[in-house]
């Protein structure tokens, strides 16, 4: 495992109701966090389109006066091979510095699910802050290399339904087994939906970072074996195993990870509504997690992966710092829980944790259409405040003074407010 660390958005998201006739949902009881009902309409007027986001990133790079470098690291819709072929939407990497053995490398991503927009708003705010070159951010960057990838699912972010802009969880790639040289009729990866014709990108990673279907022969496997023994076998083609890197976005994110080799990786998502406890009915603003993957044996190479004890300790310290930051001055938004226990090695967090990176999952409450202007702005700030405090603690070394056992004191996930339109597997 790596040892250099262990042991030693300008634009606030606005959700505006349309000016057309609106049928409002009745307020929910605990904790009065309504979701969208069938006859309730919302406008995406305040959300940046991809083009608007790209323009904003270019503006930040320009005003940063060299502090931030913007790089296109690939395109959606490329499938595999030349990920730099300009098909689909570009995926941007925003770099504050290059890999440096004397600095702590940190990678942060957002919106791997296209409908989960507040993480991107938070990353834009963080970039604007660091581009400004304040004394605080300059001191952080003296000791931290910070790379950010906002909106890593640009296809899902720009999805339309009946001609109306409607961001969705999945991208727009279509499973075509014959494209990969597999027999016709081969089952799709379990995280593909034929109904919506797209993939859950946050299941397409693999702890074996170099796994590729086109290189199966390197492991002594044939395409026919892969089809029959993996994809056509529900005991193997499920969430307990890694993904297969069939999407360009997953390959691009992993390529960035391999370039930076981050000590810390933070991924920002959305989920549903919870209230803190039977005694404390505050609405949970975010859920966090330092652990999302059990020990893993790669079925192709036979290699064994597990989260190193020192890496897990750092992950717990990172999550504690983020949690404690929101207990100061954010009384309502200090209602935080741990994410439910999961084993998902095919997520970016699971894959990177199994490759010696301390992780933090941030799950902001609510989905694209379920929060109002004021609440959205405050929830964006929960991610901004948490991440900023984590970066400060990493930079000045106080992260090592944090008791990792305090992670166990973060309240567990409980008291779910179920939105019947939402999936159970939001992360």
What pLDDT is stored for residue 422 in this prediction?
Answer: 52
Q: Are 173 and 246 in contact (CB under 8 A)?
A: yes
- Give mean pLDDT, residues 137-148: 98
70 within some domain? yes
Side-chain half-sphere CA neighbours of 218 within 13 A: 9
289 within some domain? yes
198 within some domain? no
What pLDDT is stored for residue 78 in this prediction?
Answer: 83
Indicate the pairing of strand 296-297 with strand 304-305: antiparallel
What pLDDT is stored for residue 333 in this prediction?
Answer: 81
- Give mean pLDDT, residues 40-68: 85
Is the confidence at residue 5, as pLDDT, over 60? no
Q: Which stretches of 241-344 are assigned E, i.e. beta strand? A: 264-271, 273-274, 286-289, 296-297, 304-305, 336-338
Q: Hey, what are 361's tokens? A: 């999952």
What pLDDT is stored for residue 35 in this prediction?
Answer: 42
pLDDT, mean over the chain: 87
- Least confident range from 265-274, 362-371, 387-396: namely 362-371
Is the confidence at residue 280, as pLDDT, over 50? yes
Is the confidence at residue 11, as pLDDT, over 60? no
What pLDDT is stored for residue 15 in this prediction?
Answer: 31
In the chain, % of residues over pLDDT 90: 74
What pLDDT is stored for residue 113 in this prediction?
Answer: 96
The boundaries of the domain holding residue 388 are: 50-164+246-417
Supply the pTM of this predicted model: 0.89
143 within some domain? yes
What pLDDT is stored for residue 391 in this prediction?
Answer: 98
What is the CATH number for 400? 3.40.630.10
Res. 2 pLDDT band, cuts 50 70 90: very low
- Give mean pLDDT, residues 259-273: 95
Q: What whole-number distance in Å separates Cα of residue 79 and Cα of residue 135?
A: 43
What pLDDT is stored for residue 175 in this prediction?
Answer: 96
Whether the link from the prior residue into 31 is cis, omega within 30° of 0, is: yes
228 within some domain? no
- Give mean pLDDT, residues 269-283: 89
Q: What whole-number distance in Å separates Cα of residue 372 and Cα of residue 380?
A: 12
- Give mean pLDDT, residues 328-355: 91
Nearest CA to 107 out of 68, 63, 144, 81 is that of: 144
183 within some domain? no
How many structural domains is the chain composed of? 1
What pLDDT is stored for residue 223 in this prediction?
Answer: 98
For 368-422, the pLDDT digits (tens) are 555 566 678 888 999 999 999 999 999 999 999 999 999 999 999 999 886 555 5
Q: Hey, what are 383's tokens? A: 């991610």
For 77-109, the pLDDT digits (tens) are 987 778 999 899 999 999 999 999 999 999 999
**Phi, then psi, of 353 in degrees rounded to 5:** -60, -40
For 155-185, the pLDDT digits (tens) are 999 999 889 898 999 999 999 999 999 999 9
In the chain, % of residues over pLDDT 70: 84
Residue 223 CB contacts under 8 Å (≥ 6 apart), including other chains: 180, 181, 182, 183, 213, 216
179 within some domain? no
Which of 16-25, 138-147, 322-331 is modeled with the greatest confidence? 138-147
Is the confidence at residue 62, as pLDDT, over 70? yes
- Give mean pLDDT, residues 238-262: 98
- Who wins on pLDDT, 31 or 154? 154
Q: What whole-number distance in Å separates Cα of residue 9 and Cα of residue 48?
A: 11
- Give mean pLDDT, residues 250-270: 98
DSSP of 349-413: HHHHHTTT-EEEEEEEES-TTS--HHHHHHHHHHHHHHHHHHHHHHHHSGGGGS-GGGGGGSPPS
Res. 367 pLDDT band, cuts 50 70 90: low
106 within some domain? yes
- Who wins on pLDDT, 40 or 392? 392
């Amino acid at each position: 495992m790596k040892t250099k660390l262990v042991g030693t958005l300008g634009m606030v998201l606005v959700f505006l109701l349309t000016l057309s006739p609106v049928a409002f949902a009745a307020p929910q009881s605990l904790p009065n966090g309504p979701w969208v009902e069938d006859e309730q309409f919302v406008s995406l007027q305040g959300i940046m389109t991809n083009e608007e986001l790209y323009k904003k990133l270019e503006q930040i790079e320009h005003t940063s006066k060299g502090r931030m470098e913007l790089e296109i690291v690939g395109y959606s819709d490329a499938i595999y091979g030349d990920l730099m072929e300009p098909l689909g939407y570009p995926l941007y990497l925003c770099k504050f510095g290059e890999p440096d053995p004397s600095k702590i490398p940190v990678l942060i991503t957002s919106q791997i699910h296209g409908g989960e927009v507040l993480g991107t708003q938070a990353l834009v705010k963080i970039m604007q802050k660091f581009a400004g070159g304040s004394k605080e951010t300059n001191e952080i960057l003296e000791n931290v290399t910070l790379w950010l990838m906002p909106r890593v699912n640009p296809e899902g972010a720009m999805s339309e339904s009946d001609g109306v802009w409607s961001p969705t969880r999945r991208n727009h790639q279509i499973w075509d087994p014959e494209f990969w040289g597999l027999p016709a009729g081969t089952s799709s990866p379990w995280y593909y939906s034929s109904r919506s014709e797209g993939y859950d990108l946050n299941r397409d990673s693999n702890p074996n970072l170099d796994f590729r279907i086109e290189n199966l022969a390197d492991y002594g496997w044939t395409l026919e074996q892969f089809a029959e023994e993996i994809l056509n076998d529900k005991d193997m083609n499920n969430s307990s195993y890694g993904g297969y890197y069939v999407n360009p976005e997953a390959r691009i994110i992993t390529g960035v990870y391999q370039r930076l080799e981050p000590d810390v990786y933070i991924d920002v998502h959305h989920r549903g509504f919870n209230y803190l406890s039977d005694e404390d009915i505050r609405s949970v603003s975010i859920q966090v997690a330092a652990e999302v993957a059990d020990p893993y044996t790669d079925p192709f190479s036979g290699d064994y992966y597990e989260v190193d004890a020192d890496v897990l300790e750092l992950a717990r310290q990172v999550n504690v710092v983020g949690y404690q930051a929101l207990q100061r001055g954010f009384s309502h938004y200090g209602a935080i829980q741990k994410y439910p226990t999961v084993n998902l090695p095919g997520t970016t967090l699971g894959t990177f944790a199994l490759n010696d990176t301390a992780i933090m999952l941030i799950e902001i409450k609510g989905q694209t259409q379920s929060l109002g202007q004021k609440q959205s702005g405050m929830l964006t700030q929960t991610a901004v405040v948490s991440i900023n405090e984590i970066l400060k603690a990493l930079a000045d070394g106080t992260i090592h003074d944090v008791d990792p056992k305090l992670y166990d004191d973060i309240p567990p996930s409980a008291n779910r407010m179920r939105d019947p339109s939402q999936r159970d597997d939001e992360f």
